[in-house]
C-alpha cells in the first residue's frame, strides 16, 4: 500500500490547520457511545485520546512504528497521564483485526494520502461491526491548497459514492469555519499563491515526486513561520471553537465529515 504522510505539529503548523483536526475529533467524540474504538492514523495520540471515555477501549494505529511507540509512551499503559490508548504499527489498507471487531472506526485526514483509497475504505468497513459506525474526515477538494502529500482528493458527492460501495447508509456533512477562520484560510492561500509565482518554470511539476516531497517537508515549516502572524498562520490563536458541523457544503468548506453505517458484507 503506497501512502504519503504529513503530521501537524504544534508551533509549526498554522493554528487553523491544527484546529481542523481538533474540531473533527471533537465532533466524532460527540457521536459515539461505549465499545471498542479504532483510530486509523493516530499519530502521537494527542487528538486520538479525545475519543477515549467511560465504557470505551481505544486502539490507535499508525504506519510509523516510531510514532506508535511515542503514542504509547505518552498515552499508553505506562504513561504518567493515565492509560488512554493502546497503539500498534499497522497499514491502514491492511488492518490486522478480525471482521466486525470495532463499534466505532475513525479515519481522520488519512484517505487523501492513499493512491488506492478504496482498499482503505474496504478495510475500515470490514472491521466495523454490523451495527457500528465509521467516520471519515478529509479535505474538501475545492478548498484544499496545493499539497504533494494529498494524492487522492474528494468532493462531497465523490466521497459519498466511494463510501456507498462499502456501506448501506452514508451521510456527508461539512466541517465549516466561521468568518474568522475563512479569512485566515483566504489570507494564507493568497500568500501561498504569491510564493508559487516565483516558480515561473513550474519546476516543482518536473521534479521527481519524491524530491518535491523532500523539499516541501523542509521548506514548509519555514514558510509557515515567515507567513505566520497574529492575524494568520502560527500564532493566530484560532482554535476548534471556530469550526462547526454544517449540512451545507460549498467550495469554501474546508473539511468533509462523513458518517457511514451498515457495512456491506
pLDDT tens profile 99-158: 999 999 999 999 999 989 999 999 999 999 999 999 999 999 998 876 777 889 999 999
Closest CA to 70 of 53, 46, 90: 46
pLDDT in tens, 225-256: 555 544 446 667 899 999 999 999 999 999 99
What does pTM read for this prediction? Answer: 0.86
At 53, phi and psi to the nearest 5?
A: 180, 175
Hey, what's the cell of 126?
A: 470490514
Rg over CA atoms, the chain:
18
* Per-residue pLDDT, 210: 67
Q: Tell how far CA 141 is from the center of its chain.
A: 14
Cα separation of 208 and 203, whole Å?
10
Closest CA to 257 of 115, 165, 159: 159
Percent of the chain with pLDDT over 90: 66
Amino acid at each position: 500500500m503506497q501512502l504519503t504522510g504529513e503530521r501537524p505539529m504544534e508551533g509549526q503548523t498554522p493554528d487553523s490547520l491544527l484546529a481542523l483536526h481538533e474540531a473533527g475529533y471533537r465532533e466524532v467524540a460527540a457521536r459515539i457511545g461505549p465499545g471498542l474504538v479504532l483510530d486509523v492514523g493516530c499519530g502521537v495520540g494527542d487528538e486520538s485520546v479525545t475519543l477515549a471515555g467511560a465504557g470505551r477501549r481505544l486502539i490507535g494505529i499508525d504506519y510509523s512504528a516510531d510514532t506508535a511507540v511515542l503514542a504509547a509512551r505518552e498515552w499508553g499503559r505506562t504513561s504518567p497521564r493515565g492509560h488512554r490508548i493502546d497503539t500498534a504499527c499497522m497499514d491502514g489498507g491492511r488492518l490486522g483485526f478480525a471482521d466486525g471487531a470495532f463499534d466505532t472506526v475513525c479515519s481522520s485526514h488519512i484517505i487523501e494520502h492513499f493512491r488506492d483509497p478504496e482498499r482503505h475504505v474496504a478495510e475500515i468497513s470490514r472491521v466495523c461491526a454490523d451495527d457500528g459506525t465509521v467516520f471519515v474526515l478529509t479535505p474538501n477538494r475545492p478548498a484544499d491548497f496545493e499539497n504533494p502529500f494529498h494524492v487522492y482528493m474528494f468532493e462531497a458527492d465523490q466521497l459519498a459514492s466511494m463510501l456507498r460501495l462499502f456501506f448501506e447508509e452514508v451521510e456527508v456533512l461539512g466541517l465549516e469555519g466561521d468568518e474568522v477562520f475563512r479569512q485566515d484560510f483566504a489570507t494564507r492561500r493568497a500568500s501561498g499563491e504569491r510564493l508559487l509565482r516565483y516558480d515561473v518554470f513550474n519546476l516543482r511539476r518536473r521534479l521527481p515526486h519524491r524530491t518535491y516531497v523532500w523539499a516541501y517537508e523542509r521548506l514548509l515549516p519555514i514558510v509557515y513561520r515567515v507567513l505566520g502572524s497574529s492575524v494568520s498562520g502560527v500564532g493566530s490563536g484560532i482554535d476548534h471553537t471556530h469550526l462547526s458541523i454544517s449540512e451545507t457544503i460549498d467550495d469554501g468548506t474546508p473539511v468533509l465529515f462523513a458518517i457511514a453505517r451498515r457495512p456491506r458484507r
